[in-house]
Structure 1
Amino acid sequence: MASMKLVLLFRRYLSIVLTLFQRLFSRLFDFPILVQIADSFLSLYFLAFCDLRPVTVDLDDGETTVHFWISGHRRISRPNLVMLHGYGGNSKWQFVYQVSDLSKSFNLFIPDLVFFGKSYSKNSDRSVEIQARSIVGGLRKLGCVEGGGTSVYSISYGGFVACKMVEMWPEMVEKLVIVSSGVGFTQQQKTAEMKKHGGDCSKMLVPKTPMDLRMLVKISMNTGLAFVDWVPDFILSQFIEVMYEKNRQELIELAKNLLEREEESELPVISQKTLIVWGDKDKVFPLEHGYRLQRHLQSSRLEIIKGSGHAVNIEGATTLNNLITSFVLSV
């Protein structure tokens, strides 16, 4: 009991010190320099330690630009792996725990989905289809889909995009990995899940305040939740500014389109071999949906990562990397 009181007292004084520090240097912290420095270090990590390089592709529609991280030295002996992220930031922040391992076994193609990171479009379409068309258009320009042998690993929102890619261009995708994705949720299921978290998709998926961001972390993760309580509000505000402010309205429209689309009530028909991975503590898309998806997809198997929530790519990254590598490389 005494030790707990000391911890609480320490946290209170630390909060006061950080608040004073923020006010003393308010001009500096008004500019999101800390998060931008961290983002730059992530880029350096991708370049120097993972042999990845940034490429920006202008599509033939004249409206869309897609940013990729791709393997700097592609090898014929390695299969191609496309990695599609979810809603929590750009591809760098979501896949930082995975790219080092996966780059040793695959030629990686890691796009920022449209309106995330450095990808953008003047097109007013906010559907999953526009995401799929943009990613495939970029992959074609990069020579990824030529000759087959390309697999897709997708998580959460990326799972919707991946399934649409397989539906529209089945010959391009050899194997599919779906992680913690609500593909096939009925309208009733989507409404029920939203009610559990307050019913406002914009606050949950596109946080505006530090409180919103803390809630997103709490919903997405099962372990490691305590660290976010120690992060000062001004740092969380900087993260929000860097990740969400530029395309906030477009991101909200993407989320609303996904939640309101009726055609998602039917699960997709996928013939490709599919690995489904779920965290047993997922609060966003409960594990029961993973079982439902596995029953629907005949050429699939379900792997459950114990102790992980929705953010399996962070909480169970090593296990997930091993599952993806063994599944895609197996003959």
Structure 2
Amino acid sequence: MASMKLVVHLLRRYISIAITLFQRLVLCLFDNLDYPILIKLADALLSLYFIILCDLRPITVDLDDGETTVHFWVSGHRKISRPDLVMLHGYGGNSKWQFIHQVSGLSKSFNLFIPDLVFFGRSYSRNTDRSVEFQARSIVGGLKRLGCDGGGLAVYSISYGGFVAYRIAKIWPEMIDRLVIVSSGVGFTQQQKMTEMKKHGGEVSDILVPRNPRDLRLLVRVSMNTGIAFLDWIPDFILSQFIAAMYDTNRQELVELAKNLLEREEEPEFFAISQKTLIVWGDKDEVFPLEHGYRLQRHLPNSSLEILKEIGHGVNIEAPATLNNLIISFVLGVS
């Protein structure tokens, strides 16, 4: 027994040394590269994963305003027997990075429409409007160009995407049959939004749109309750490359979107939507605490609330399989 413990101890020690040496080797190879080559490579591999294993295709549509382009990932072989599901991401990168753990499972049950919100990923506009209404209008315009103008859509949204989905449900109620809102501060007053974000210190824009590895580590720690130990193993230069690839191109626009969201007061009648709604919340959410999930449910008579234990704000990362099952059961009407 003692000899076995010694072997296990030595094995752990050798693995730890090997990992440390590998980190230092990678650091020596790439630390002087300003171009985010590693993240660009990972992003390309994600695209291949979406195309080959999830049967998704990239499509870019120009809207009628002549100013806005919206990029989508769309199911390559749509089936009439499957309902259409629109997936709206939050802050924290483009749609590929946020939904990587979910698309494979959901693509088996739905025809997927996964846009990059404007100024995220490959979606862009020359319009100076930074409101949630503009995001909603852009997504609706893109969906209509893709033939989704007959209604019957289900929409799954998380965090910032929840604000956009709610606006669509309110302004274009005929388009959406069912709505899933995950960890979103929909219905917050301006004061509530600012209070929650300021709990974490620093400028709100630095948290949502990180400038350096320290900011990005804070964003991940605030967003997740489990699985954050991996942060200790990621060198700063890789995090810097992620920031360069995901945030630097449209940094000013992303900051303006965040400020518009946080500084705008919601309308009192904002809660008046009729769609059947599933609300999903982690009980350890530090961005929008669980009490706000209960509050949102009280304002929505046609809603239900699912609470995930020991899960933080990033439900799509911490509990993707559970979230997928909830979405599938809710949209397909499976009890």
Q: TM-score, normalised by structure 2?
A: 0.92
Which runs of 5 or more residues in structure 2 are unaligned?
1-7
Aligned 8 A contact 1:187 1:265 in 2: no
Q: 2:90 and 2:268 mapped to 1: Cα distance?
A: 20
Q: Deviations over 1:264-314 (max 9, x none)?
A: 566421110000000111000000000000111000000011111000001
- 2:188–2:266: 8 Å Cα contact kept in structure 1? no
Q: Distance in 1 between matches of 2:51 and 2:160?
A: 26
- Please state whether the residue corresponding to 2:174 is helix, strand or coil: helix
Of 290, 312, 315 in structure 2, the residue corresponding to residue 309 of structure 1 is 312
Deviation at 1:135, TM superposition (A): 0.2
> Does residue 233 of the first structure (1) align with residue 236 of the second (2)?
yes
Equivalent residue, structure 2, for 1:109 = 113
Question: Match for residue 93 of structure 1?
Answer: 97
Partner Cα distance (2:15, 2:196) in 1:
37
- The one-letter code matched in structure 1 to 2:237 is F
1:263/1:24 CA distance change after superposition, 3 Å:
closer
- Residues 98, 313 of structure 1: 8 Å contact kept: yes
Corresponding residue to 1:208 among 208, 211, 222: 211
Counterparts of residues 94-243 of structure 1 (less than 5 Å): 94-146=98-150, 148-243=151-246
Aligned-partner residue type, residue 244 of structure 1: Y
Deviations 1:2-45 (A, max 9, x none): x99x9999979966874575345544x32211111111111001
SS class of match (1:262): coil
Q: Which residue of 2 aligns with 1:56?
A: 60
Contact 1:185–1:264 under 8 Å retained in 2: no
From 235, 244, 247, the equivalent of 2:247 is 244
- 2:129 & 2:14 partners in 1: Cα distance? 51
Secondary structure in 2 aligned to 1:245?
coil
Give aligned pairs, total.
326
Moved more, 65-74 or 189-198: 189-198
How far apart in 2 are the matches of 1:272 and 1:107?
20
Aligned equivalents of 1:294, 1:177: Cα separation in 2: 12
1:22 aligns with 2:27: yes
Cα displacement string for residues 116-170 of structure 1 (whole angstroms, at most 9, x for unaligned residues): 0000000000000110000000000000232x22111000000000010011100
Residue by residue over 1:30-80, the C-alpha shift from the partner in whole angstroms, topping out at 9 and shown as x without a partner, is 221111111111100100111100000000100000000000011111111
Amino acid corresponding to residue 201 of structure 1 in structure 2? V
Q: TM-score, normalised by structure 1?
A: 0.93
Match of 1:67 among 71, 81, 91: 71
C-alpha distance 204-9 of structure 1, shift in aligned 2 (>3 A): farther
Matched-pair contact (CA < 8 Å) for 2:27–2:235? no
Counterpart contact for 1:97–1:314, Cα < 8 Å? yes
